Structure 1
Amino acid sequence: MSEKVKIITTEDGSHSLFHEDLKETYHSFHGAYRESLHVFLLYGLDSWLANNPNRYPLRVFEVGFGTGLNAWLTLVWAEQYQIPVLYHTIEPFPLSEEVYSQLNFIHQNDAIWHYHKYFEALHKAPWNEGGPLSEYFNFKKDQVSLEEAQLYPSDVVFFDAFAPSKQPELWEKNMLEKVTKSMRPGGLFTTYSAKGQLKRDLRDLGLEVESPPGPPGKKEMTRAWKPGQ
């Protein structure tokens, strides 16, 4: 592999990547697939849908396209629920085909395996452009940093950057403010991190902060709502 990453297998059998410079994984050692389902679908998309049953299309913004797992699971979710999703993600350092083609996410659940072709389509979609990938999923990925990114109004934010100890600049209050300002009233912010400073900053920015149970291996995570409808 040309990148400074290597494929690892997490506790639920799904792959993740280990970034050799940062000494950090892209997903939890305790289960990459389970973590994404828990943090970004259960406490993200499902929570938003429960509070907004007729508010479509759903606009999702993701910080950190990474392996593409969150985007793929969101596409599957959109198709299964037949909910139009506009998905915008940013990633300054995309993976090569040599790497993403070896990831085993599409084999984790036989019930959704027939969506496997979309995983490759997400990675092969042109950067800095947008368009439909399926009937209910419109996708745009920008090869850009959060600092430089142009953000669109969003209903749900997946904040999936590397840990605050590894990429502290992405978790600074000014970056969080940029993201939360783009959220529409009633919008939801979800992340695996449970850092106290993150929660304090989100409260200072006017969000209502919660600490739901975390995915396997973590006691808590963070979810926050922007007031209004």
Structure 2
Amino acid sequence: MEIEKTADGSYTLFVPGLDEHYHSVKGALTESEHIFINMGLKHSCAENPHILEIGFGTGLNAFLTSIEAKKGKRNIFYTTIEKYPLDMETIKLLDYPDLIAPEESELFYSIHNAGWNSPQTVSEHFTIEKIEGDFTEYRFREGYDIIYFDAFAPEKQPEMWSQKLFDSLFSILNENGILTTYCAKGAVRRMLKTAGFTVERLPGPPGGKREILRGTKITINKTENE
């Protein structure tokens, strides 16, 4: 595992065995803010959203979400699953609090120090449930409003990008729930549509990918129109 500085000054991790980065080298922070916060959390109409993140990784998405929860006074329950948790030494080297919000350093480390496999409230508006497990085998409960799909790329981890799994994610979303992902490949877009999502191709983050995807669960109108 190697630490690399990205174009916006934030750090990411490079995994030589997969020849893959945890975030975009064009900007780790910029990518997360755009795809998961701006196009995901801020787009959701849920008053107190329940979020599911596929791939906890460095905890960057969770940290940004916890900051937004405080700003917007939205009570967020955040579930995330990770098969290979990172060690604290690596987490500290990424230096996210100093770059993003030094005043929230305690919150960042509370997220990472929270125990696995049981919900823990780490701030007034943010409760996190970290699951150490395999996304492809885990059975999630229903009732999510937002899904951050942040797995490694399909060519690196094809088992994470299957029709069966997207069907399952669609089934556990609330009506008008949304899924956002950095991957805009045609095959992924078609799988989301087949699962039942109404899919949008949106502009990617500044300086990064040209497009990203957002899928919305809209079943009531479809039923009425049939």
Following superposition, the deviation at residue 113 of structure 1 comes to 2.3
Matched, 1:204 2:194: yes
| CA displacement, residues 41-95 of structure 1 (integer Å, 9 cap, x when unaligned) | 11001111xxx2xx43210000000000000000000011000001000000000
The residue number in structure 1 matching 2:212 is 221
SS in 2 for 1:126: coil
**Alignment match of 1:28 (pick from 19, 24, 31):** 24
Q: How many residues align?
A: 218
SS in 2 for 1:61: strand
Determine if contact 2:58/2:86 at 8 Å carries over to the other structure. Answer: yes
Higher mean alpha-carbon deviation, 7-16 vs 112-121, is at 112-121
Structure 2 unmatched runs, 5+: 221-226
Give, in whole Å, the separation in 2 of the partners of 1:128 and 1:150. 13
**Which amino acid letter does the alignment assign opposite residue 60 of structure 1?**
I
Misfit runs of 4+, over 4 Å: none
Give, in whole Å, the separation in 2 of the partners of 1:159 and 1:187. 13
Give, in whole Å, the separation in 1 of the partners of 2:55 and 2:210. 23
**Alignment match of 1:105 (pick from 96, 113, 117):** 96
Matched, 1:47 2:31: no
Matched, 1:184 2:174: yes
Give, in whole Å, the separation in 1 of the partners of 2:184 and 2:78. 25
The residue number in structure 2 matching 1:91 is 82
Q: RMSD of aligned C-alpha atoms?
A: 1.1
The residue number in structure 1 matching 2:146 is 156
Quote the sequence identity (%): 38
| CA displacement, residues 9-39 of structure 1 (integer Å, 9 cap, x when unaligned) | 0000100000111010000000000000000
Structure 1 unmatched runs, 5+: none
The residue number in structure 2 matching 1:71 is 62
The residue number in structure 1 matching 2:223 is none
Determine if contact 2:31/2:208 at 8 Å carries over to the other structure. Answer: no
Higher mean alpha-carbon deviation, 55-64 vs 24-33, is at 55-64
| CA displacement, residues 110-154 of structure 1 (integer Å, 9 cap, x when unaligned) | xx3211111111111111111211000011000001122231321
Matched, 1:170 2:160: yes
Following superposition, the deviation at residue 228 of structure 1 comes to 4.6
Following superposition, the deviation at residue 207 of structure 1 comes to 0.8
**Which amino acid letter does the alignment assign opposite residue 65 of structure 2?**
T
SS in 2 for 1:156: strand
